[in-house]
Chain A
Amino acid sequence: MKNLSLTLASAIILRAVSEGHCYGFEIMEATGLPSGTIYPALRRLQEASLIRSSYHETPDSESQGPPRKYFRTTAEGERALEAAGKRYPVVAARGG
């Protein structure tokens, strides 16, 4: 695992993914952060193995289309999130 010191924005994004907001647009709506911040952060979190991504068909019938990329946290990501919660109380509060 690459040692990554999470910034507040990264921690908030990781928290959102952990809560089940697994698509880029959903994460933007959940966190209120702009997509230009979210995607670079997601890429770094993925490089650090805190999240992983894959393409899959969406379950909801109204959005038929090509497979959509979704993100989910890894076990390492959950541990990092726990550590980030101690550092950033606001992240812990969001999760609580």
Chain B
Amino acid sequence: MLADVSLCRCAIRVASWLAPAGVRAEWVREWNTEICHSYASLIGRGVSRAEARRKLLRFAAGAFSDVADLRRSVFNLEATLGRAGFCLAVPLLVLSVVLVASHGFRNCREMIAGAPVPQPQELLLLSRSARVLGIEAAPTPGDLRAWRRANGQFALAGFALEGHDLHVSANFYEVLGATPHVPFLFVGHRVEAIKPLDLQTGRVGVLGRLKSPTAQEQLEAELSNVPSPNGGAVVTKSLEGVIREPLIITLSTILLTLVVGMALVCAKPRAAAFFFAKTAVAQAAIGAAWIEWVAGPSIPLTGVSGVMTALLMPSLLLAALALSLWYSLHDQKRRCPVCFRLLILPVLIGSRSSIILDRPQVEVLCPNGHGSLLIPEPVVHRADPAAWLVLNESWKSCFNLGGSK
């Protein structure tokens, strides 16, 4: 008999994953016993085994509708929001949305892989440092022409992005080493059309290719004596370095906040692992969204970052990650250290008029009865640390606070 009903039992087991935990065992028992008895009853009535299997499979298929209805009927919003899994599921969901919306983390992948051209490590972006304070400036078309005249060994190509149109000099593909088909992603920017570069004013990006890994200093030396209307020395930057800079900044900031968070939380290994998981997922979601929609499209094609890119944007990223860390720490303090459920039913005990014998404190309970947290209210100048009171098994019967749902 077991072989004949095994598929039905398997369906019941799969459906039971959707059943609320508190009623799951009872629900599975009801369906399984009904299937067993019904099979015996059908066979007893002379129904063939194949026909009995077919009828019972049809019967078992209804378990999915039943369990969906059961879940709807016992759904408890407060209990669901308080679950440990919920605070992991939300950032995971955000991360999934970012994954889908960004075409599989397209900018992150480009930053890791580098430019899709032969020997991308040989590509350089050229800019100028100003005489005052050494601030970098993007080259002008005049700089490009002067550098070309002064440099006989290195091919230099100019380009500029206007909207989604990339304006390029005639030797751009030769320097790049590839002829990309539009549309394509160029240093985090979507290019939909390529046009010839005929700018006389404004700023351009200057791309050069090294002939050997040690030639970077040679190129800088060759171009250092080129007179420039605005003065300043030539600065070269690896194109890969420019592309990967936002990724490195984001990962470093996430790592920093995680280290700070782990130092602040001071929890037992299990609680620390939970804190790390929820914080890391949340920070990964923020970091991924940042790279895909803020940092990626803001990579300066000229190699020169403006004030917004260089200072304000990393500061905003740090602020967003710090806010996420603060919330994660705050959330951790409001959870049971055993089951990580949010503590509920805050009750003020003590008296605000008494600061010695009956000090005011707020007591919150674990919905599963693992204990209560006593949070002293600030008196005079600061509050004492909160104290966790473990409740033993004898208290369990007093708790029916929706913890098992």
A residues near B, CB below 8 A? 23-26, 28, 34-40, 43, 58, 60, 62-69
The distance in angstroms between the C-alpha atoms of A28 and B60, with both chains bound, is 11
CB-nearest residue of chain A to B41: A63
Other than the given A36-B62, A63-B41, 11 more pairs (CB < 8 A) read A25-B35, A25-B41, A35-B66, A38-B62, A39-B65, A39-B66, A60-B40, A64-B40, A66-B29, A66-B33, A69-B34
Q: Which of B6-42 contact A (CB under 8 A)?
A: 29-30, 33-38, 40-41
CB-nearest residue of chain A to B27: A39
Tell me, rounded to whole Å, the shortest Cβ–Cβ distance linking A6 to chain B: 17
Query: B40 — which chain A residues lie within 8 A by C-beta?
Result: 60, 62-65
Q: A34-B58, A43-B73 are contacts. A63–B63 as well, Cβ < 8 Å?
A: no
Query: B61 — which chain A residues lie within 8 A by C-beta?
Result: 34-36
CB-nearest residue of chain B to A64: B40
Tell me, rounded to whole Å, the shortest Cβ–Cβ distance linking B252 to chain A: 53
B residues near A, CB below 8 A? 29-30, 33-38, 40-41, 43-44, 56, 58-66, 69-70, 73
Could you show 13 A-B contacts with beta carbons less than 8 Å apart?
A25-B59, A28-B59, A34-B58, A34-B65, A40-B65, A40-B70, A43-B70, A43-B73, A62-B40, A62-B44, A63-B37, A63-B44, A67-B33
CB-nearest residue of chain A to B34: A24
Interface pair A62/B38, CB less than 8 Å apart: no
Interface pair A68/B34, CB less than 8 Å apart: yes
Query: A65 — which chain B residues lie within 8 A by C-beta?
Result: 33, 36-37, 40
Query: A68 — which chain B residues lie within 8 A by C-beta?
Result: 33-34, 37
The distance in angstroms between the C-alpha atoms of A1 and B33, with both chains bound, is 30
Taking a contact as CB atoms closer than 8 A, the residue among B30, B34, B35, B65 that contacts A36 in the complex is B65
The distance in angstroms between the C-alpha atoms of A74 and B205, with both chains bound, is 85
Interface pair A58/B66, CB less than 8 Å apart: no
Tell me, rounded to whole Å, the shortest Cβ–Cβ distance linking B2 to chain A: 11
Interface pair A37/B62, CB less than 8 Å apart: yes
CB-nearest residue of chain A to B30: A69
Tell me, rounded to whole Å, the shortest Cβ–Cβ distance linking B28 to chain A: 12
Tell me, rounded to whole Å, the shortest Cβ–Cβ distance linking B248 to chain A: 54
Q: Which of B35, B40, B43 has its CB near the most chain A CB atoms (within 10 A)?
A: B40
Interface pair B34/A63, CB less than 8 Å apart: no
Query: B30 — which chain A residues lie within 8 A by C-beta?
Result: 24, 69
CB-nearest residue of chain A to B66: A39
CB-nearest residue of chain B to A24: B34
